Chain A
């Protein structure tokens, strides 16, 4: 494995360079211990295949998505305008992020405030790296023939219409992809979106992540693949609540790929 390199935009700027692509880490990717693993895994993949990237590091700030969806437009715009200032200062052209919420906000909402970038989600980048043959998979990797089910995140799936890229990435694992009854445009939310992640549920019969975890468990898959740090938490919690955490693992696609790479 190549040595880990995680340059910041400031580092590169000091050398008079700018990277091909900015890796937008996001709050979850930066601070949530489970999502940090995904962040590092994705950096390792990019290092291994030689993707020229950098992060903003401490110059990055929340995109403002949770504030905007909670209704706090003021806070959203404070975050957004600050971020756009930083991004435009570095003349960023292309951004990759492992968070569908960051992806959506950067791609669809920043243009109205003067931030125009080409934004891709890490599953889309992984897909093109696999297609280009830059990521090579092990012969007979760990997940070969194993049942994996894929949980569509709302913000990649329904909101941005990306259903196939993550599935194509999973196919590279040679695994047995089993779909849940509610998948693709009918996929059920994990329960975290719309700033629900930061609040208790409203009164009801059940938590949404339990409903979704039950559906995932009913497929008999031993791995639940996700592409969103919030889904990762929600699905992990749901499976723990059903006491299946020893039998069923929840992974981000980047982790699965890193595990199966031959380099």
Chain B
């Protein structure tokens, strides 16, 4: 009874805590602007099925893809066992499904066990890749500190979780011989039927009972810890990968979103008659492009929260490969960090963060004197060749290019800054409609060619 009560308190408490953190993440994502999510829903579901469930894009790199697939499958399948843990925990029964499902139960748990064992090895290989083999994409400067620890912690959690599972199942198998009344027959489990007796055979019943309960609580405790850890971790991708692939842009990759507010202005410039027809002339200087999470779209911010910092984007970025400061992954990490900072400040309710201190602090009434430019430097933005390699590389359809280009727009259109080198190109475009200012007529090549024949 005490166990049931403890279980209920822990589950509900951890659940509520997680709910709060996830709500914060949701609020932070919606700090961004609205984005038009129209278009073919069947294409969106296809993306979810192929890219998120099917992990299609992971398979560009075979070794990590197989290792990742193992852990992913183990994770998904283990949720079945979690259902049983929840039922057992609340009702005080033991292995609720064992006698009801019979052979099928043996099959499912065996399946989980085999995947778990593979996962156990995969986790160590992942740890080795991060810490011993030092795969270049895991050792870039943006990975120093918390991101590196985060990556390792998740793997350590995973190992602890697996130790919990195998302790719980292994001792259970041994206990089935000693106390068949309580420990229902699970059939011959693929791993625990030999690993259990090998590890725990010969221990006293008392010790076994303690170990079995410890394994069970460790397993469940790790699940609750994990749930509460996710909102603060890169590992959030296990959830957000699904909505993120669903909401991924369906428009052609090469299409930058048109800025309709500018179209209005350009049209009125080209046609003075239309200018008079314009209704209102705004007093305030309009802001174009993005300088903060508020001017990005919520999808850009969801991208940032979906990023698991694998660094595939950075490893294929031509600027990064040739030693420039730009790293697409860092851009995403910066957006998330900034969203977190704004979220924390909003939660503090501190009037110093309000634009108008007389009004309550809110998304619309916020100014902490900082922006995304405090995180992402112009040097990084200017190094991008818009080659789309990062967009192509992302296994969960994050678009790192979009925020980069939105920030370039802010720099040029709102701040009137940007690389000096671009000025002659801009001037030439404005004055002669050509990207280079060359005094020749545009068709001189044709005249020359016709003359030469």
A residues contacting B by CB (< 8 A) are: 3-4, 6, 8, 25, 27-32, 36, 39-40, 43, 55, 57-58, 60-62, 64, 66-75, 77-79, 81-82, 104-105, 107-109, 112-113, 154-155, 158-160, 185-186, 188-189, 191-196, 198-208, 210-212
Contact = CB atoms under 8 A, between A and B. Distances in A.
Nearest to B379: A202
Given A66-B425, A81-B270, A108-B254, A36 B445 contact: yes
B258 A202 contact: no
Interface in B400-421: 405, 407-413, 418-419, 421
Given A58-B442, A71-B289, A159-B254, 14 more contacts: A40-B445, A66-B429, A70-B408, A70-B412, A71-B409, A72-B413, A74-B262, A158-B389, A160-B254, A198-B424, A198-B435, A202-B325, A207-B322, A212-B318
Contact of A57 (B259, B389, B418, B443): B443
A74 B289 CA distance: 12
Interface stretch (B15-23, B231-239, B380-388): B380-388
A205 B321 CA distance: 9
B324 A189 contact: no
Given A43-B449, A82-B433, A186-B316, A30 B442 contact: yes
Contact of B429 (A29, A64, A160, A186): A64
A202 B418 contact: no
A263 to B, nearest CB: 16
Given A58-B443, A158-B392, A208-B319, A203 B384 contact: no
Interface string B254-265: 111011001101
A6 B253 contact: no
Most buried by A among B270, B386, B436, B441: B386
Contact of B259 (A6, A73, A108, A207): A73
A171 B254 CA distance: 28
13 contacts: A6-B446, A8-B443, A28-B435, A40-B449, A78-B429, A82-B270, A154-B388, A160-B253, A188-B316, A189-B389, A202-B324, A204-B319, A208-B322
Nearest to B391: A158
B319 A202 contact: yes
A33 B324 CA distance: 30
Contacts of A68: 256
Contacts of A212: 318
A206 B425 contact: no
B94 interface: no
B409 A195 contact: no
Nearest to A200: B421
The range of chain B's interface size is 35 or more
B323 interface: yes
A58 B445 CA distance: 11
Contact of A71 (B254, B412, B425): B412
Q: When A and B form their complex, which 10 residue pairs have the shortest distance between CB atoms, in order from nearest? A: A205-B323, A71-B408, A61-B433, A194-B386, A199-B421, A189-B387, A204-B323, A71-B412, A57-B443, A204-B324
A209 B206 CA distance: 70
Nearest to B404: A194
Contact of A189 (B318, B411, B440): B318
A112 B258 contact: yes
Contacts of B379: 202-203
A208 B318 contact: yes
B277 interface: no
B418 A71 contact: yes
Contacts of A66: 425, 429, 435
